[in-house]
Every structure is written in structure tokens, then in C-alpha cells.
Amino acid sequence: MQIIVPIKQVPDVALNIKVKDGEIVQEGISWVISSWDETALEAALQLTEEAGGEVTVLSIGTAKVQEALRKALALGAHQALHIQCDSSAGWDSYQVAKVLAKTLADQDYNLIITGKQAQDSDAGLTPTMLAEFLGLPQVTNITAFKDVSDASITLHRKGDDGIEISKMTLPGVVTVNDSLAEPRLASMRGIMMAKKKPMETVDIHSLGLAPEVLQSGGLMTEVVQYEKPDERKEGRRFEGDETETVPEVMQNLKKNIGLFA
Amino acid sequence: MLNQAFAGTGQFAEIRDAVRGLCAKFPGAYWRQLDRERTYPEEFVQALTDSGFLAVLIPEEFGGSGLGVQEAATILEEVQRAACNGAACHAQMYIMGTLLRHGSPEQKSKWLPPIASGELRLQAFGVTEPTSGTDTTSLRTFAKRDGDRYIVNGQKLWTSRAEHSDLMLLLARTTPKEEVTKRTAGLSVLLVDLREAIGNGITIQPIRTMMNHATTEVFFENLEVPAENLIGEAGKGFRYILDGMNAERILIAAECVGDARWFLEKSVDYASQRVVFDRPIGQNQGVQFPIARAFAETEAAALMVREAAQRFDSGQPCGKEANLAKLLAADASWKAAESCLQTHGGFGFAEEFDIERKFRETRLYQVAPISTNLILSYLAEHVLGLPRSY
């Protein structure tokens, strides 16, 4: 089974991201693979470990995204494809899906697995658009794979009150729920092996895309500015005997936020 | 929330990232429980071993990664920066250097692959004795050649991790001190298989210390060690362990940098958030200056660690740099620890903040594996050309 995993490099949300004048301050940002894409990669690795085959990771961006691709190789992906561009900052989901679709149009694969959304934009649109542009079936928010073959796959999809089980013909597109698998950690051996695995770089201008697809900023939607939410105020701890602290807590809830008023 | 100011350089980002991911599975609560019970972090050491991080210096032909001290230092710095404790296993990285550099091809083929895979642990280094301390050439443990074996008698002190190691590298006299022309001669290195030796000539007595360090005292009574376990030539052991000490100092200096960065980050977070008299305490210069000074000293120490590691890896002499790195980094981590505890006030003493635990742990590096006073003596004598003071 040949599996493609498009991955997105995003700012590490564990860092204290700063916003100034409506823009994210780039200085000091550390970049990581979007966590949902890490789950997608883990799913792909488990599938190929069980059913055989190879995983190709794919990412669009400047030379910096090679760090993310190299990490994916360290985690176990077999090869990487880097679509190099000067900047993909501000691109909307439509543009990304167009570039991915053009890149994958002449590739040989059985399955495309992605995170259900990206960790930075949280839009969740790209996989669906990609499936549409490629004319492929798609099932979203998958929690488990069963009965895997090169021609079809059974998918468990999480719903509010149960699990929906679907059979999808391949090739197709799947997005994964993060409960599907815990992403593995890179080992020292994996890091060493990653240096020897193939990474192909393709110039985005060589794909033959319409010029407007590559325009800076969004094509269908545009992010106007960013705002940071107000920081949470420090909590207060009530310590002591509960016969004293419970009335004190109740009094505070009434007084400060109007509860039980 | 991680602060980029304490992230270090972008070098070896993939290694830093992987170590951080692993350490995230061993949070403060894990270490606090071990600390309370003074138990060894088996799961943590096993995870580091399984991921290949402890075999980073072992050549690829023996199953390791074949990388250098720079990468090893990066791993240990990240371990400490994540509030974990590399002291539980850091020796696995550098002790084997003596075996690698001076062991026979047969010894390396026999021992290095299982050490790289984690099947065997080589974490114990028997050097210090109750009466000799840092005056290593005065050690008294004696290994007497008797046919195809050595018979060892004596005692070692502060032998860390001996209870959790399968192998021990032992420095013993094989020629009495009074029979050698140079005091550094007549010492030999033996590889002791503790699995067979415990109860058959070795007794290990744990020593409870102010932090969870698994240190011990080891008694040798007619211990038989096969002569084939002699590393290199008899009588040249002191030289063999000396060239491993630079690696040890660089790696522990890197741990101190990691400690310092953890303390600094905790300090900045708390000083920014803690409001007293209607403003964050970090707005006071009395609070922010010690943190800023510790930060400056940490960054300077980190540069020296990097310089020493680069020189080590490129085969250049690095005694001066390794000692400077250890001195500066140990001082920086201690200063960062002190400012962190002071910044946190009473909360710093509460176990759940991990500060008091890290405070105790990083204090060790003013003393071990080499006292800062001895480093100053080394610098004065060997670098500045001043008369020997001891």
C-alpha cells in the first residue's frame, strides 16, 4: 500500500506566541509538525507496518519545511517530497489544496491520510477540497482502520452517539481523529536513518499551476488580522476546613460572577 | 509555556525535539515520587535506552549512532531542561569511552553491542575511595595478578548507580605505589561483571543522600576478575581514565546548562505572573536582576560547553575548555537555582513546584564529578602556569 501524508509545519503552540499590530511576531517562533498530521503519519506508519508498503510525506513551503519532513522521516516515513516556494504565508485552504492536487495528480498511491485540521488555522477545509479536486472519495474524522487492502478499506468514524462504519474504495482521502493513535517518538536510530532517506524537492513553479493560485495572501478567504485572547486571571485557592471554605466559595461566586443571585 | 529565550541554539533541533517528546512522558510527579522513595528511574532510563539516546557515542558498527559529544551534550541538556534527571544514566554515555578507545577488538565486540542495545548497563565507575578522594593516584584498592585472573581487594566510595548497572569500570592499583617511579603509573582498568561479582567478592552498600542519586559504597573482598577483562595495558589505567574525564566534564556541564535554563524559565514565568502590591514581582529590579544575571552566565557557559564539545569531537586538546565549561555551567545552574528559589519565596519550598528537588540535584555539580575548587587549581596550574597548590 502506497500512502501519501501531507504535513503542515506550524508554530509550536506550546510556546508563548506573541501578536503585535495584528500580526504574529515571527521572531522566536519554533516550528513543528501540526499535531493532527503527526496522528495521520502514525496511522500511515501503522498501516504499512501491518499491510506492507511505503509512506511518502509531503509539504509545501520554504527550505524550513524540510525540518518537518526530516522529522517525519525520523519517525518512519520512507521518503519525502518538498514543494518549494518562496512563501506560503497567508495562503488559504483552497490554494493549498490546489497545489497538493496538482502535485499528486500524476503520483501513484492508494490512500491519502491527513490530520482532520491544521493546528494553526483549525479550518479543516484542505482535505475535503483536495478530495474534490482529485475526484476521490473521502471519509473524515476516522478513529480506526479495518480490512485494509490496496483496493478498499473499512473505516470507523466517530459520531456523537456511536461509531459509523464505512467501506471506501481506494484511492481515497481520509482524515484522522487524534484518538486514533498516539504518535510515536523519534528514536536516535530513526534520526540517523532519516539523514539517508530520499527527500525530493520540486519547484512549485514547475507544477504548471494557474498564476493566481500562487498569489500571496488568500485567494478565496483572507486573514485580516490576529488578536490574542485576554489572559486568564490567576485562580484562587480556598484552603482549610470545608465548613468554612464552602460558604466562602459560595459567597465569592455570588459576589464576583453573580451566580445564585 | 516554553520561553524561547531559554531554548538554546537551533543546533541538533531534531535531537532536542525527540528528547523533549520523550521527557514529556516523565513529568514532575514521576520524579517527585522517586525522590520521596529514593528509587531508581527504571522506566525513564529504559525509555532513553530504547530510543538509542544513551548509545549516541557508540560507533554504528557496534550498534550505536556514532555521533559526538556535541550530540550527547544536547541530549543531556534537554533531559535536564525538562526537569528530568540525567544523573541516573549519563555515565552510560561516557564510561564506555575508555572501553572504546583502549579496549581490544575482542572486548569491544563482546561488550559494546549489548551496551548499545541496552541489554547490558555500564553505568558504574569505581574510582573514588574513602581515603584518597580526588587524589586518585593514592587509591588503595589493589588488583593482584594470579594466573589468568586478578584478585581484587579494597573499597570504593560514591560509586553511583552500582546497584543498577551490569558492569563496572574499576580503577585499581596493580603495582604498589612505592614500586613505581611516577605516582600515576601502576594503575589499571578492569571491567567487572557485576552480575557475577555481587555476592562473590563484591558487596554494595547504598548511601542515602540529600537527593535521589543511587550512590553507593562498594567493598571488594577477594573478587576474582578474568585477566581478559583488563582494558588496555596494565599500569596505564590512569591515563586511560583521564582522557574520558574531559567528555564527562563537558556532558555534565551541558546538564548544568539544561538545569539553569529550566530554573530561569520557572523564574521568569513566576515573576511575570505573581502579583504583590498590585504589580508583578518581576517588575522589581531586586527580583529581575538576579534572574538576568543568571541568564547571562548561563548563556556564556553554554558557549563554552559548545566550544569544548566541538574541540573534543574534532580531536583537539580540550582540557582547558572542558574544565572551564564545567566550572562556568555548574556556577550558572547554581546561581539560577538560587534566584529561582528566592523568586518563588515560600512556594519554592513546596514539593509540587519541583524547584526544591532540582535545587538539591543541581547543587551536586559544585562538587561532582570534580569539585569546582579542583578545577580552579587545574586552571591556575596548567593553564595560567602558577605553582601547583596541592
Residue A3: enclosing H or E segment and its boundaries? strand A2-6
Q: Is A30 near chain B, with CB under 8 Å?
A: yes
Q: Looking at the structure, do residues A150 and A240 belong to the same domain, yes or no?
A: no
Question: Does any domain span residue A50?
Answer: yes
Please answer whether residues B216 and B207 qualify as being in contact, where contact means their C-beta atoms are separated by less than 8 angstroms: yes
What is the per-residue pLDDT for B64? Answer: 94
| One-letter identity of residue A4 | I
Residue range of the domain that includes A238: 230-261
Which 8-state DSSP code applies to residue B198? Answer: B
Q: Looking at the structure, do residues A173 and A234 belong to the same domain, yes or no?
A: no
Q: How confident is the model at residue A259 (pLDDT cuts 50, 70, 90)?
A: confident
DSSP H stretches of helix in chain B: 13-23, 28-37, 42-50, 69-81, 91-94, 96-102, 105-117, 194-197, 237-273, 285-313, 319-344, 355-363, 372-378
Q: Looking at the structure, do residues A195 and A261 belong to the same domain, yes or no?
A: no
Q: Looking at the structure, do residues A209 and A255 belong to the same domain, yes or no?
A: no
What is the per-residue pLDDT for B1? Answer: 44
Task: Pick B51's closest partner by Cβ from A30, A67, A185.
Answer: A185
Task: Give, in order, the Cα–Cα distances in Å from B157 to each of B206, B207, B361, B370.
Answer: 10, 9, 19, 14
Q: Looking at the structure, do residues A193 and A143 belong to the same domain, yes or no?
A: yes
Domains of chain B: residue spans and CATH: 4-117 (1.10.540.10), 122-235 (2.40.110.10), 239-383 (1.20.140.10)
Q: Which residues of A touch B3 (CB under 8 A)?
A: 15-16
Interface test with B, best of A191, A199, A233, A236 (most B CBs within 10 A): A191
Which 8-state DSSP code applies to residue A52? Answer: -
Q: Looking at the structure, do residues A251 and A181 belong to the same domain, yes or no?
A: no
CA A118, A122, A124, A126 dihedral sign is negative
Q: Is A33 near chain B, with CB under 8 Å?
A: no
Report the C-alpha gap between B245 and B267 in whole angstroms.
Answer: 32
Q: Looking at the structure, do residues A126 and A214 belong to the same domain, yes or no?
A: yes
Q: Looking at the structure, do residues A8 and A67 belong to the same domain, yes or no?
A: yes
Closest Cα of chain B to A206: distance in Å? 30
Report the C-alpha gap between B140 and B155 in whole angstroms.
Answer: 8
Please answer whether residues A170 and A151 qualify as being in contact, where contact means their C-beta atoms are separated by less than 8 angstroms: yes
What is the per-residue pLDDT for B261? Answer: 98
- Report DSSP letters for A246-258, one per residue: HHHHHHHHHHHH-
Place of cell 570534580: B370
Count of helices and strands (H, E) across chain B? 13, 10
Question: Does any domain span residue A57?
Answer: yes
The pTM assigned to this predicted structure is 0.85
Please answer whether residues B262 and B362 qualify as being in contact, where contact means their C-beta atoms are separated by less than 8 angstroms: no
Question: Does any domain span residue A223?
Answer: no
Cα of first residue to Cα of last residue in chain B, in angstroms, is 47
Question: Does any domain span residue A148?
Answer: yes
Q: Contacts by A25-28 with C-beta closer than 8 Å and gap 24+?
A: A28/B4, A28/B5
pLDDT along chain B (390 residues), means of 10: 56 89 96 95 95 95 94 97 93 90 96 95 92 84 96 94 94 93 93 94 94 93 97 94 89 98 97 94 97 98 97 94 98 98 96 96 93 94 94
| B11 vs A71, residue with greater confidence | A71
Report the C-alpha gap between A160 and B202 in whole angstroms.
Answer: 63
Strands A172-176 and A163-169: unpaired
Residue A103: enclosing H or E segment and its boundaries? helix A93-104
Give the gyration radius of chain B's Cα atoms: 21
Report the C-alpha gap between B106 and B301 in whole angstroms.
Answer: 40
Q: How confident is the model at residue A254 (pLDDT cuts 50, 70, 90)?
A: confident
Q: Looking at the structure, do residues A23 and A102 belong to the same domain, yes or no?
A: yes
Please answer whether residues B107 and B169 qualify as being in contact, where contact means their C-beta atoms are separated by less than 8 angstroms: no
Report the C-alpha gap between B263 and B332 in whole angstroms.
Answer: 10
Q: Looking at the structure, do residues A125 and A242 belong to the same domain, yes or no?
A: no
Closest CA to B319 of B237, B367, B390, B249: B249
Q: Is B65 near chain A, with CB under 8 Å?
A: yes
| A91 vs B255, residue with greater confidence | B255
Q: Looking at the structure, do residues A179 and A153 belong to the same domain, yes or no?
A: yes
* Predicted confidence (pLDDT) per residue in B318-370, tens digit: 999 999 999 999 999 999 999 999 999 999 999 999 999 999 999 999 998 89
Report the C-alpha gap between B321 and B164 in whole angstroms.
Answer: 32
Residue A132: enclosing H or E segment and its boundaries? helix A126-134
B248 part of the active site? yes
Task: Give, in order, the Cα–Cα distances in Å from B217 to each of A104, A171, B50, B92, B163.
Answer: 64, 65, 29, 19, 10
* Predicted confidence (pLDDT) per residue in A123-166, tens digit: 899 999 999 999 999 999 999 999 988 899 999 998 888 899 99
Place of cell 579496549: B103
Q: How far is CA B163 from the centre of its chain?
A: 17
Angle at A42 between CA A37 and CA A43, to 5 degrees: 95
Question: Does any domain span residue A130?
Answer: yes
**CB within 8 Å of A45: residues ≥ 6 apart:** A55, A75, A76, A77, A184
For residue A44, the domain's CATH number is 3.40.50.620
Count of helices and strands (H, E) across chain A? 6, 13
Angle at B215 between CA B378 and CA B352, to 5 degrees: 100
How many pairs of residues across A and B have Cβ atoms under 8 Å apart?
A: 61
* Interface TM-score (ipTM) > 0.85: no
Question: Does any domain span residue A224?
Answer: no
Report how many domains make up chain A: 2
Q: Is A239 near chain B, with CB under 8 Å?
A: no
* Predicted confidence (pLDDT) per residue in B247-274, tens digit: 999 999 999 999 999 999 999 999 999 9
Q: Looking at the structure, do residues A184 and A253 belong to the same domain, yes or no?
A: no
What is the per-residue pLDDT for B98? Answer: 92
Q: Is A67 near chain B, with CB under 8 Å?
A: yes
Question: Does any domain span residue A87?
Answer: yes
What is the per-residue pLDDT for B225? Answer: 97
Interface test with A, best of B1, B2, B12, B14 (most A CBs within 10 A): B14
Question: Does any domain span residue A225?
Answer: no
